Structure 1
Amino acid sequence: MKWNKFTIKTTTEAEDYLSAMLDEIGVEGIEIEDNVPLSKEDQSAMFIDFLPELPQDDGTSKVSFYIDAENDYEEILEQVKAGIEEWRQFVDIGEGSIIQSETEDIDWQNNWKEFFKAFTIDDILIKPTWEELKEEDKGRILIEIDPGVSFGTGKHETTQLCIRQLRKYMKDSAKVLDVGCGSGILSIVALKLGAGEVVGTDIDKDCIMSANENLKVNHLENAKTEFYVGNLIDDTQLQQTVGNECYDIVVANILADVIIPMAPVIPARLKKGGIFITSGIIDFKEQEVKEALEKAGFEILETNYQGEWVNITAKKC
């Protein structure tokens, strides 16, 4: 299917007003392009430890919307033009021109799958659910993953660092807390390596759904697991729900800027001598994370590197 794409050249000041106007008209799927840096709240909800350099924010913005090329768009376009002129009386619209182009319908949700192929981490095979298991891989520890809408194929360096540390420190029947569980890949790895119980948390409810689905795919739906939505840093109810001084291992593959404020609440979750496995740390944040962990009472056991990413594994003293 082909679509007509219409792009309004406007200002960052007006983009929210124009988006609301388009929504009222009945236009769906609005796209905004600007050079406004992400807020700390936005950064914390995404898997990024440092941001790409953007051009200087000059106050301009592009607000785009799409209409099926087979449909008559003239009436909608007239409503949009009228809406732009109406809002021009109250806010700086900027140029306010509309550029039309044509684009193909692309299955963005599924096309990325061609880039996710089966791979191994030592004796662990991680493969997408849609690939067949090869004969030569049948002796490996198998993890099947469909990331869905959440982060976590296992191929990212930080995830691999965590998996290797789980492999090293896991003991039979260990109780594991997976903070920022995403697709549930680290929870599943922990169970496959012998964990007796796994609890996971994530700020995104879609991740909880994805994690539970991946448990089923790996025939672990009856394992002793529980996933909760919430932010362990400041949600005291969640802290009490997941439990105190009851975990052998806590694993957090998140962000340095999240691990640092989280460090003080982790010791209360761990048994004495419990292990805290962290990653998602870009190399230039390594020392900051180490200092936060030591201040929280941890002993740094080891530091591992893969590319520009760092794993820090620590022990509760």
Structure 2
Amino acid sequence: MSWYEVHVKTSIEAIDAVTGVLYSYDATGVMINNPNDADFTNQEEGKWDYYDPQNLKLDFDGALLTGYYENCDIEVLVSDIKESLEALKDFDIDLGCGEVDYKEIFASDWENEWKKYFKPFRLGNHIVVKPSWETFDIKSDDLVIEIDPGNAFGSGTHETTSMCIEMIEKYMTSSDTVIDVGCGSGILAIAAGKLGSKHIIAVDIDENAVKTATDNVALNGLSDVTDVRHGDLINVIPEKADLVVANIIADVIVKLSDDIDTILKPDATFISSGLILDKVDWVVEELKKRNFNIIEVVKKGEWAVVVSKKAKEL
């Protein structure tokens, strides 16, 4: 069995977009090495205990993404990935140096290597994110999310995901219907379920993400209250929600905001993330143009989350 690592040197801004490209070619997993990740580098005791700082050092300014692939024509794969990365420039995404290379590895190396970086950790006041293969000393008031990222973005370690979970915990009530747009691994939908929501809709355009999210929802015992759907953003959601969360990228958030009110109940909360700091002010202004009131902007590392509500009509 042949396994390969495909390495992409890119910018901080392009991390999510490049991750999506790697997964679009059926990566078994993607590892992100970002030396500028403030959550990792501040070494807050008890929060991040699963990595060696030496592993974050790079010889260039940006981030190194590694995708893992099984039984493929690696030359064709790398050529296709380069072509897709080049296409991202049409969306004004700065790829940084954009270098792509690869090496052959053994399956056992991959299985052991990436899992040692993903250990249980805490988010917000009561949330514990735990990979399914790990054990953890759980407190009586802990809400445990068991997660296997599989072929989808969202393990909780990325600032955008962690901030979204913290905002869900802050703004959601147990009676809320929640919609997770671009659900990835399903972690945000699961967080909503663990916090008490009785009706959750999670949607993703990627079929692999839908499968991974469905499996993770079942792993956490939330299948009865969570509907995972395959579709393009909100086109497959006729329902309305009390809270909508979208952890995507700035340009898609702005596009989504044109129609997001079709799935918002009166006084609903819209949590949007995946926002690089350079684009936060732009997103805020675009939301204001669409008659949203900005409730809160939270920044962490190179990223931000914006919490807003649609202004009530007079």
Same fold (TM over 0.5): yes
- Change in Cα spacing, 1:108 to 1:300, as seen in structure 2 (3 Å) is farther
Question: What secondary structure, in the 3-state scheme, does the structure 2 residue paired with 1:39 have?
Answer: helix
Q: Quick one: distance in 1 between partners of 2:204 and 2:213?
A: 10
Query: Match of 1:54?
Result: 98
Query: Match of 1:242?
Result: 237
User: Is the 8 Å Cα contact of residues 217 and 226 (structure 2) preserved in structure 1?
Assistant: no
The within-5 A match list for 1:116-127 is 116-121=118-123, 122-127=125-130
Match of 2:182 among 168, 175, 180: 180
Query: Match of 1:160?
Result: 162
- Change in Cα spacing, 1:114 to 1:50, as seen in structure 2 (3 Å) is farther
User: Is the 8 Å Cα contact of residues 199 and 226 (structure 2) preserved in structure 1?
Assistant: yes
Q: Which digits, 9 at most, give the CA deviation of each residue in 1:1-29, with x for residues without a partner? A: 899xxxxxxxxxxxxxxxxxxxxxx9844
Match of 1:278 among 272, 276, 289: 272
* Structure 1 letter corresponding to 2:126: D
User: Is the 8 Å Cα contact of residues 267 and 296 (structure 1) preserved in structure 2?
Assistant: no
The within-5 A match list for 1:299-310 is 299-310=293-304
- Change in Cα spacing, 1:171 to 1:265, as seen in structure 2 (3 Å) is same
* Structure 1 letter corresponding to 2:229: Y
Q: Which digits, 9 at most, give the CA deviation of each residue in 1:203-239, with x for residues without a partner? A: 10111111111111111122x221222222xxxxx53
User: Is the 8 Å Cα contact of residues 177 and 198 (structure 1) preserved in structure 2?
Assistant: yes
- Change in Cα spacing, 1:273 to 1:108, as seen in structure 2 (3 Å) is farther
- Change in Cα spacing, 1:141 to 1:229, as seen in structure 2 (3 Å) is same
- Change in Cα spacing, 1:138 to 1:112, as seen in structure 2 (3 Å) is farther
* Two-structure CA RMSD over aligned residues (Å): 3.0
Q: Which has the larger radius of gyration?
A: 1
Query: Match of 1:230?
Result: 231
User: Is the 8 Å Cα contact of residues 125 and 137 (structure 1) preserved in structure 2?
Assistant: no
Shift of 1:257: 1.5
- Change in Cα spacing, 1:35 to 1:229, as seen in structure 2 (3 Å) is closer
With normalisation by structure 1, the TM-score equals 0.68
Q: Quick one: distance in 2 between partners of 1:226 and 1:277?
A: 19
Query: Match of 1:80?
Result: none
* Structure 2 letter corresponding to 1:148: G
User: Is the 8 Å Cα contact of residues 271 and 316 (structure 1) preserved in structure 2?
Assistant: no
* Structure 2 letter corresponding to 1:52: G
Identity, in percent, stands at 37
Shift of 1:259: 0.6
Q: Which digits, 9 at most, give the CA deviation of each residue in 1:41-61, with x for residues without a partner? A: 9979xxxx7523337xxxxx9
Q: Quick one: distance in 2 between partners of 1:243 and 1:195?
A: 19
Shift of 1:108: 6.6
* Structure 2 letter corresponding to 1:242: I
Q: Quick one: distance in 2 between partners of 1:191 and 1:27?
A: 38
Q: Quick one: distance in 2 between partners of 1:271 and 1:2?
A: 50
Match of 1:38 among 86, 106, 121: 86
For structure 1, which runs of at least 5 residues remain unmatched after alignment?
A: 4-25, 56-60, 65-101, 233-237
Q: Quick one: distance in 2 between partners of 1:193 and 1:249?
A: 13
Runs of 4+ in structure 1 over 3 Å off: 26-31, 33-37, 40-44, 106-109, 136-139
- Change in Cα spacing, 1:270 to 1:160, as seen in structure 2 (3 Å) is same
For structure 2, which runs of at least 5 residues remain unmatched after alignment?
A: 4-70
User: Is the 8 Å Cα contact of residues 260 and 288 (structure 1) preserved in structure 2?
Assistant: no
Question: What secondary structure, in the 3-state scheme, does the structure 1 residue paired with 2:258 have?
Answer: helix
User: Is the 8 Å Cα contact of residues 180 and 201 (structure 1) preserved in structure 2?
Assistant: yes
